[in-house]
Amino acid sequence: MTAWFIVRAEVDPSAKAEFDKWYEDEHLPDAHKAFQAISAKRGWSSIDTNVHLAFYEFADLDAANAAVNSDAMKELIAEFDRCFPDNVTRTREMVEFNQAL
């Protein structure tokens, strides 16, 4: 079944507009291509409006893990840290679906 790599970012309100534009124009397209993901989606939480979530879809957990452990991932992290060194914190999750209706 499919697997999803999920990045949750808590964005300082002072950086939100810049972060949103950068993620839309650069980071999401770059990550989608670098990961060779099936799809890439992102959005802002409606519960905590400073929380941004990005979702990258893979055919299976092996493909997701290969992308996350790649040199491309290291480059994406370095670019993220360069652009937002102090005002964005993030966590990462990997989810493999084992049931769908």
Could you give the CA distance from residue 78 to residue 85 in angstroms, rounded to a whole number? 10
For the chain, what is the domain count? 1
Domain hosting residue 90, numbered range: 3-96
- For residue 16, what pLDDT is reported? 97
Looking at the domain assignment, is residue 8 inside a domain? yes
- For residue 100, what pLDDT is reported? 86
Cα 83 to chain center, whole Å? 15
Looking at the domain assignment, is residue 9 inside a domain? yes
Nearest Cα to Cα of residue 51 among 97, 2, 16, 1: 16
Looking at the domain assignment, is residue 83 inside a domain? yes
Looking at the domain assignment, is residue 101 inside a domain? no
Looking at the domain assignment, is residue 66 inside a domain? yes
- For residue 1, what pLDDT is reported? 83
Low-confidence ranges of the chain (pLDDT < 50): none
